[in-house]
Amino acid sequence: MASKMVPHRLHSHFPRVMSRSRAMPWGQLAGLPRSQLCRMSNGPKPRPSERNTVWRPYLRICVGVVFIGAMIYSMVTGDNESKLDGPSIAELDEATKREASITETSPMRLRMEKLIKEPQQKIDGNVFEKAGVNVSVVYGKLPRPAIEKMRADHKSFVAADVDSLDFFAAGLSLVLHPKNPMAPTVHLNYRYFETADPKNPLSGDKNWWFGGGTDLTPSYLFPEDCEHFHKTIKNVCDKHDGTYYPRFKKWCDEYFYIPHRGEARGVGGIFFDDLDAEFFNRSSHSTLHPHSHASSQNAQEALFSFVTDALASFLPSYIPIIERRKDMPFAPAEKEWQQLRRGRYVEFNLVYDRGTSFGLRTPGARVESILMSLPRTAEWKYMDPVSGTRIDDGSSRSPGGGDESEAIDSDDKARERELMNVLKNPRQWV
């Protein structure tokens, strides 16, 4: 039964094919293309509408024309907008650097960039456990909240009614942590900030100011080192204004202070910020050093000259010190004391330093560069007998009940106590 049904089903699929093949001579059938034979064997299929076939190419052309037109309009309007805004400060400065070298007639932005990059190639050595040099040259836009904050800090801030301002910032930051505990850590930073009217960045109104300073942080006190460091800085300050050194030295002592420890980070140096035309005009009315030439220059040129000389004084102020101390012998206990002092360095930088705090709050900032100033290693010792937290009432006791006074007054801690006394009571070195 099943064997009879199979041929019946096979033949039932071919009646139309067989009828067409019988109606067509075999010669004509053999000359047909393969595709036409396949259509014949599978039966007739509905052909696409002739109307759709005609309109489909035109539809594609219309869509393409609309798309290309939108692209051209976007490009044209974008170019017009950029032409209306004019070139940015960065573009103008880049063109200036390509066309000519930096001279005294160049914009202050380019002169400051050149100033901070030159010392980078001169600083080198193999006596430091960790040393870092950050060079920043930044072009950007200040949003409205940042403009409001700067307006509060600078009464003479111009163009403060706009939503954004082009800005330029350049700075050099340097920190050197020597291996030898007899050699002091040194920090240096000099920076320049400028904003410009986005409609006229080349000759429009500008806001600008300088900031910076340098300071010394020893683990062991050598008065002659402190005197040399401060004297070198004072000579530079006095060259420009006799009031600079006492003002900036006091500013440094107040800034590099650790409130929760009740001590300074180091023996100071100078520190200043927001030195602008208003500051210079106030300062120029004070008693100037007899050899000062600042009053004969405009404010920006005078302050740039001061920053240039201050930066140039770094190597003379520090190299003689490091040469004297880098190869001195030291004991393990003295290295341990250096580690404790580095702990104080870390505490100040992470808790109180404005630059570190600002950098860590900035989205997308390079954290490694911000934390570059930290020492490679540091230690904290619970209730250190010389620098630990305790009640200075003459009856201090250790957690175990032992008397700390013997350890504090012992001769082998005399040099550590000498440093602590200076850190708690800043000294006038020159």
Q: What confidence tier does 263 reach under pLDDT thresholds 50, 70, 90?
A: very high
Lowest mean pLDDT among 114-118, 119-123, 350-354, 374-378: 119-123
Mean pLDDT of 3-14: 44
Q: Is the pLDDT of residue 66 over 50?
A: yes
66 vs 145 pLDDT, higher one: 145
Look up residue 287 and give its amino acid: T
Q: Is the pLDDT of residue 128 over 60?
A: yes
Q: What confidence tier does 98 reach under pLDDT thresholds 50, 70, 90?
A: confident
Q: Is the pLDDT of residue 77 over 60?
A: no
Q: Is the pLDDT of residue 306 over 80?
A: yes
pLDDT of residue 16: 45
Say how many C-beta atoms besides its own lie within 10 A of residue 255's C-beta: 19
pLDDT of residue 248: 98
Q: How far apart are CA 214 and CA 184, in angstroms?
A: 13
Mean pLDDT of 281-288: 64
Q: Is the pLDDT of residue 50 over 60?
A: no
Q: Is the pLDDT of residue 18 over 60?
A: no
Q: How far apart are CA 9 and CA 134, in angstroms?
A: 88
Q: Which two tokens stand for residue 213?
A: 């300073």
Mean pLDDT of 102-113: 90
pLDDT of residue 64: 62
pLDDT of residue 121: 62
Lowest mean pLDDT among 123-127, 164-168, 223-227, 416-420: 123-127
pLDDT of residue 244: 97
What is the overall mean pLDDT for the chain?
Answer: 79
Q: Is the pLDDT of residue 78 over 60?
A: no
DSSP notation for 108-121:
HHHHHHHHHHTGGG
Q: Mind listing the pLDDT tens digit for each residue in 346-398?
A: 999 999 998 888 788 777 888 999 999 999 999 999 999 999 887 454 444 44
Mean pLDDT of 289-308: 72
Report, as residue numbers or ranges, the catalytic residues. 187
Judging by DSSP bridges, how do beta strands 206-217 and 268-275 pair with one another? antiparallel
Q: What confidence tier does 337 reach under pLDDT thresholds 50, 70, 90?
A: very high
Q: Which residue has the tokens 């509408």?
A: 49
For the ranges 23-27, 278-282, 403-407, the maximum mean pLDDT occurs at: 278-282
Supply the pTM of this predicted model: 0.68
Residues paired with residue 185 on neighbouring β-strands, in sequence order: 217
Q: What are the sequence ranges of the domains in the chain?
A: 109-424
Q: Is the pLDDT of residue 40 over 60?
A: no
66 vs 109 pLDDT, higher one: 109
Lowest mean pLDDT among 9-13, 165-169, 230-234, 280-284: 9-13
Phi/psi for 329 (5° steps) reads: -70, 150
Superfamily classification of domain 109-424:
Coproporphyrinogen III oxidase, aerobic (3.40.1500.10)
Q: Tell me 248's DSSP state.
A: H
Torsion of CA 306, 309, 313, 315, to 10 degrees: 130
- Whether the CB-CB separation of 54 and 48 falls below 8 Å is answered with no
Task: Give how far the C-alpha of residue 155 lies from the chain's centroid of Cα atoms, to the nearest Å.
Answer: 26
Q: Mind listing the pLDDT tens digit for each residue in 188-237?
A: 999 999 988 767 777 777 889 999 999 999 999 999 999 999 999 999 99
For the chain, the distance separating the N- and C-terminal CA atoms, rounded to the nearest angstrom, is: 125
